[in-house]
Amino acid sequence: MKTLIFIGSNKSGSSREAIKAAERLGFFTVLLTDRELFLKQRLEFPDVHQMILANLTDNDQLIEKIKEIQTQGKQIVAILSFIDPFVHVAAALSKEFCSSTVSPEPIQLMEDKILTHELLKGLPVSPYFAKYTQGNSLSDFIREQKEDLPLVVKSPISTGSKDVLFAKNKKKLKKAIKKLLKKENEEVLVEEYLEGPQYLIEALVHNGKVHIVAIIEQEITFFKRFIVTGYCLLADMEKSFYNNLSKAVNTILEQFEMKNGACHLEMRLVNGEWKLVEVNPRISGGAMNRMIEIACGVNLVEETIKVFLGQEPNLVKRYNQFVYTHYLTVDSRGELMKVTGKNRCSRTPGVEEVFIKPKKGKILQTPLSMGDRYGYVIASSKVKEEAIKIAKESATEIKFHLKPLEISEKRIRERRGK
């Protein structure tokens, strides 16, 4: 029985759609998960043929679980992950247990932002960066950065927006570095703050050839963190824009020597020059796979699986249209009582999909991370402005009805700190 093993998955989004794609392709699917709740909700995962509870950070335990699966007579053809930080872990295990064409080394480099910066240092796409190592003089480090303020402060291994902090002066820089050091980071990365429109590029590499599958313009809102609240997948663009971006993407991926695999890059166009914000060795999560499928008919997670199996991906676009995804947030904190307006929103012409994440009883709050986005509306059109308008206007139909919490501000801060 040909089997695909997935290390980690979310309940929805790109990682879950990858499991569904594997089932459609005729494979027996196994999910190794560290979420006990998923086993309690087993009936909600019909596409997962076997679910196994495991500590995903314990490599020896993962190997043990995989060997147990083999003894059941299952032929493991690939081990995959679409979840940080397990993409490299899965690629390494796939190389050990299967004849994988995907090398784990480029993935490992991409998962570490400091290694990525050091690899790309000196290239036009690489912005200014510096790293602070715990134990060194923090005062000296901050003094060295004063001419480069404002700066963005990041954890080198986290992809979460909650670990991306903006420092406009020396005081804020010191506070941000100390905050991230408390999260068991031995090193902290500081980067040049880039001003200009930001784009997300979804790419698939097959036999050394880079295929740019989608280019998405991002709408970023600054609450207390940088939160992406809108994604516009571009159906067409100026030739010079595409050529310059393609050249920058190819330059970056050549440095990683990635021969096969998937990745997405976040880049900013700064005074006519492309600068890399970060690169991650997987498709973006959330609605990204659905956006691409709605825009052009390509199921990117399915084609990524084919690459991992040594097959040629089919990236031929069946049609071409603009797609805009508007993410839903709330402007106060409280317990969710109900959500109204979803059906009215769904019936709007041009709306392709409406997704609401939280259930009744969930505590919602104003955005501190991407995880504080509570749903989305996807709309499509042949015209960019129309797709944006449809998504945003129809989203106003959706209301999150919250019950205010009778908790002191001090208690709220304590809970957030846990």
Q: What is the mean pLDDT of residues 199-218?
A: 97
Identify the pLDDT of residue 413: 57
Any domain includes 110: yes
Tens digits of per-residue pLDDT, 292-310? 999 999 999 999 999 999 9
117 and 249 fall within a common domain = yes
Residue 186 pLDDT greater than 90, yes or no:
no
**Domain final position from 168, 192, 216:** 192
188 and 231 fall within a common domain = no
Complete edge-to-edge strand list for the sheet that includes strand 50-53: 50-53, 28-33, 2-7, 75-80
CATH number at residue 215: 3.30.470.20
Residue 412 pLDDT greater than 70, yes or no:
no
Tens digits of per-residue pLDDT, 64-98? 999 999 999 999 999 999 998 899 999 999 999 99
Q: E strand or H helix at 384, and its extent?
A: helix 384-395
Residue 272 pLDDT greater than 50, yes or no:
yes
238 and 119 fall within a common domain = yes
Which pair of tokens denotes residue 29?
A: 């699917």
Which pair of tokens denotes residue 30?
A: 């196994």
Tens digits of per-residue pLDDT, 17-54? 999 999 999 999 999 999 999 999 999 999 999 999 99
Any domain includes 197: no
Residue with tokens 């997670």: 301
85 preceded by cis ω (within 30°)? yes
Confidence of residue 368 (pLDDT cuts 50, 70, 90): confident
Q: What mean pLDDT, rounded, does the chain reach?
A: 93
Tens digits of per-residue pLDDT, 148-182? 999 999 988 876 677 888 999 999 999 999 999 98
Any domain includes 253: yes
Per the structure, the complete domain to which residue 372 belongs is given by 321-418
74 and 215 fall within a common domain = no
Identify the pLDDT of residue 408: 38
115 and 222 fall within a common domain = yes
In whole angstroms, what is the distance from residue 214 CA to residue 320 CA? 11
DSSP 1-29: -EEEEEE---SSSHHHHHHHHHHHTT-EE
Any domain includes 281: yes
Confidence of residue 234 (pLDDT cuts 50, 70, 90): very high
Q: pLDDT higher for 103 or 410?
A: 103
148 and 233 fall within a common domain = no
Q: How many domains, in total, are found in the chain?
A: 4
Q: Residue 303: which residues within 8 A CB-CB, separation 6 or more?
A: 204, 313, 314, 315
> CA 245 → CA 34, 267, 324, 381, distances in Å?
38, 9, 21, 24
